[in-house]
């Protein structure tokens, strides 16, 4: 009897995780970059800031992918840069989720003045472009990695707050939350035990989207010369450094730009796949 009951649910679980061709290609590319982030520096033929030849050397010359403005190896800097790019994007997204989700869920559960105060404040911040907000803070505090991480994390958390508050609002009116409240559980208990597990699917998708946005945002700032600073390698910074090389026929700016694009396109495809899977699952559940 238990066998019969287990089988369909097991196959449903598998089905909901089944990969589509696009999602698997995107996943492979993403895993590739993550592996490079871990082992890249060990594989790199030269040092991060080591000058190996002429500036803007061609592909297949001094370096396999050519050299940059200062004659550093592009491949080496790409291998080092993925670490910076992925690490910064990850840590800013995590910060934005810790801040955004805690405040968003608290606002949804507590309601009242707490909700009103934070929501109004967030609306005021939403009233002007997030890039502007980041630029003002970076302009006032200078370009250090800590400032960069905190600024981007807080700018991202504005969006996360709105999403998690909306999700929290939906869940907080459910019977199981009501009964937890009636039992006299505290806010923290309700958030971690009742709301969070049920909010997981949309939050995971949101995490993927914010992560992608963070990559774009950070590389945009680096591209403007306001993000990661020399001599560290970062993909956005590499584009900025080598932009002048385009007119000399060098692809040293396009290669890191294409790498960022590959990262963000793959992330988008995976989030898309995940959302469709989740939707498919909920539709199936409704039918049963």
> Smaller CB distance to other proteins: residue 28 or 246?
246
The CA R_g of the chain, rounded to the nearest whole Å, is 23
Among 61, 243, 278, 281, binds other proteins (CB under 8 A): 243
| 224 interacts with other proteins by CB under 8 A | yes
| 246 interacts with other proteins by CB under 8 A | yes
* End-to-end Cα, the chain, rounded Å: 19
| 136 interacts with other proteins by CB under 8 A | yes
Strand-pair partners of 73: 67
The C-alpha atoms of residue 78 and residue 143 are separated, in whole angstroms, by 22
Among 56, 207, 223, 273, binds other proteins (CB under 8 A): 223
CB of 200: closest distance to other proteins in angstroms?
24
- From 128-136, 181-189, 193-201, 279-287, span contacting other proteins (CB under 8 A): 128-136
- From 86-94, 164-172, 181-189, 214-222, span contacting other proteins (CB under 8 A): 214-222
| 264 interacts with other proteins by CB under 8 A | yes
Maximum Cα–Cα distance across the chain: 74
Q: Are 158 and 100 in contact (CB under 8 A)?
A: yes
**Binding-site ranges for other proteins (CB under 8 A):** 124-125, 127-133, 135-142, 212, 216, 219-220, 223-226, 236, 239, 243, 246-247, 249, 251, 253-254, 257-258, 260-261, 264-265, 267-268, 272
């Amino acid at each position: 009897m238990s066998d019969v009951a287990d089988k369909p649910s097991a196959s449903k679980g598998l089905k909901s995780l089944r990969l589509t061709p696009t999602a698997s290609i995107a996943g492979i590319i993403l895993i590739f970059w993550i592996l490079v982030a871990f082992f890249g520096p060990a594989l790199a033929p030269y040092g991060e800031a080591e000058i190996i030849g002429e500036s803007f050397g061609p592909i297949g010359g001094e370096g396999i992918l050519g050299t940059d403005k200062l004659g550093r190896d592009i491949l080496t800097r790409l291998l080092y840069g993925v670490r910076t790019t992925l690490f910064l994007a990850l840590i800013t997204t995590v910060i934005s989720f810790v801040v955004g989700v805690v405040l968003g869920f608290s606002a949804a559960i507590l309601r009242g003045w707490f909700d009103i105060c934070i929501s109004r404040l967030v609306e005021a911040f939403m009233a002007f472009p997030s890039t502007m907000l980041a630029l003002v803070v970076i302009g006032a505090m200078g370009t250090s990695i800590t400032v960069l991480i905190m600024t981007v994390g807080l700018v991202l958390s504005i969006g996360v707050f709105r999403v998690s508050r909306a999700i929290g609002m939906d869940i907080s009116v459910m019977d199981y939350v009501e009964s937890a409240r009636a039992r006299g559980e505290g806010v923290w208990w309700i958030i971690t035990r009742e709301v969070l597990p049920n909010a997981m699917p949309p939050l995971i998708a949101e995490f993927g989207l914010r992560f992608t946005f963070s990559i774009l945002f950070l590389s945009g700032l680096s591209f403007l010369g306001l993000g990661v600073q020399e001599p560290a390698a970062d993909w956005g910074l590499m584009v900025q450094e080598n932009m002048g090389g385009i007119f000399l026929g060098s692809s040293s700016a396009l290669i890191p730009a294409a790498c960022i694009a590959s990262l963000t396109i793959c992330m988008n495809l995976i989030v898309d796949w995940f959302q469709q899977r989740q939707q498919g699952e909920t539709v199936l559940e409704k039918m049963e």
